[in-house]
């Protein structure tokens, strides 16, 4: 039995590999170009094979889907900064990669998980968000919304292939998945705050900091991801994967400073300074996880302090070594 992970050398993918190794006897095949993922993230195991390649390469994707019994499609262009700075590359990666995976998986009837994002809800204020809610997006002139649109098309691709080809597809919408090994390189807020606090630099909060987010420990996210694909009743549907415990970015920054015993101050930077005058930031992100709980029997519940302490514990020795 072999499980394929596209983007498996990334943050979520590497944790999912560890979960698979622990809970099954399966071989793990990783397809990743390591543009944002890192080979160091992968566990040392004879059951893990890395193929360095791009999901936009259709023949490569097809070749490795044919070797697999399950597919978790996690490869994507992620992070607000990367999406705003390189919108065309992000669109091509997210759309072409998903189409290649689904076409190959449908041909072989391989159960497939498609990773989506809470970004698809756009700037809706109807919190908590449920999977059947309407989406509210800004204009196409704002690069911020290209990612939300691409992930929504990914979902539509998956559901259409399920409907027309009758093969197992599950879509998971991730809500701010965080934990050890996540990079702050592309604007991920918790690793960025933690590194700033540990080095006593100002914590940079964009906007007024009243915007809220729901943060989910990666261990719980990968458990849900793993179980959804192995649950027949989940097929052909979309699931929020997140902890329904929103917190403001201001409160998050204050909590990081306190837990790190830092001398850092909190500095607010207007969005138009950090990005451009057309940038829009959703005010709220909170999932309704009723469907997830009904389908697999549990929901993510790890509290924010546990998440922050895990990230701090991982980052602190590394920053001490550099210093």
Q: Give Cα separations from 106 to 24, 111, 150, 165, 238 (angstroms).
A: 24, 8, 20, 6, 18
Question: For the chain, what's the residue count?
Answer: 323
CA separation for the pair 225, 12 (Å, rounded): 10
Phi, psi of 74 (to 5 degrees): -110, -15
CA separation for the pair 279, 138 (Å, rounded): 10
Nearest-CA neighbor of 171 among 103, 219, 79, 102?
102
Is residue 268 helix, strand or coil?
strand
Q: Are strands 169-174 and 203-206 parallel, antiparallel or unpaired?
A: unpaired
- Given 70, 72, 121, 147, which residue is catalytic? 147
CB contact at 8 A, 30 and 9: yes
Element (H, E) at 171: strand 169-174
Here the tokens at position 305 are 């302090």
CA separation for the pair 98, 79 (Å, rounded): 18
Would you give the distance in Å from CA 40 to the centre of its chain?
19
Would you give the distance in Å from CA 208 to the centre of its chain?
25
CB contact at 8 A, 112 and 228: no
Is residue 78 helix, strand or coil?
coil
Q: Is 8 exposed, middle or buried (0-12, 13-18, 19+ CB in 10 A)?
A: buried
Does 161 participate in catalysis according to the annotation?
no
Q: Which residues are catalytic?
A: 147
């Amino acid at each position: 039995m072999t499980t394929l992970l596209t983007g498996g050398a990334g943050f979520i993918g590497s944790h999912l590999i560890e979960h698979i190794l622990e809970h099954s006897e399966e071989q793990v095949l990783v397809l990743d170009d390591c543009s944002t993922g890192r080979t160091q993230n992968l566990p040392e195991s004879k059951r893990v094979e890395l193929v360095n390649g791009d999901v936009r390469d259709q023949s490569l994707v097809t070749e490795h889907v044919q070797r697999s019994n399950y597919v978790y499609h996690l490869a994507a262009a992620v992070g607000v900064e990367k999406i705003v700075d390189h919108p065309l590359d992000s669109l091509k990666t997210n759309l072409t990669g998903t189409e290649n995976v689904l076409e190959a998986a449908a041909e072989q009837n391989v159960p497939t998980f498609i990773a989506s994002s809470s970004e698809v809800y756009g700037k809706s204020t109807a919190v908590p968000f449920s999977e059947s809610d309407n989406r509210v997006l800004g204009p196409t002139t704002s690069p911020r919304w290209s990612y939300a649109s691409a992930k929504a098309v990914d979902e539509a691709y998956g559901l259409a292939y399920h409907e027309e080809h009758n093969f197992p597809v599950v879509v998971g919408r991730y809500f701010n998945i965080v934990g050890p090994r996540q990079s702050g390189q592309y604007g991920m807020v918790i690793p960025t705050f933690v590194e700033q606090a540990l080095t006593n630099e100002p914590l940079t909060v964009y906007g007024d900091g009243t915007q809220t987010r729901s943060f989910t420990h990666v261990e719980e996210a990968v458990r849900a991801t793993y179980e959804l694909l192995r649950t027949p009743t989940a097929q052909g549907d979309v699931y929020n994967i997140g902890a329904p415990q929103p917190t403001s970015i201001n409160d998050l920054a204050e909590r990081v400073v306190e837990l790190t015993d830092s001398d850092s101050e909190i500095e607010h930077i207007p969005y138009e300074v950090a990005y451009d005058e057309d940038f829009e930031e959703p005010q709220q992100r909170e999932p309704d996880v009723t469907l997830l709980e009904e389908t697999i029997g549990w929901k993510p519940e790890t509290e924010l302090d546990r998440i922050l302490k895990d990230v701090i514990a991982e980052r602190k020795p590394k920053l001490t070594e550099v210093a």
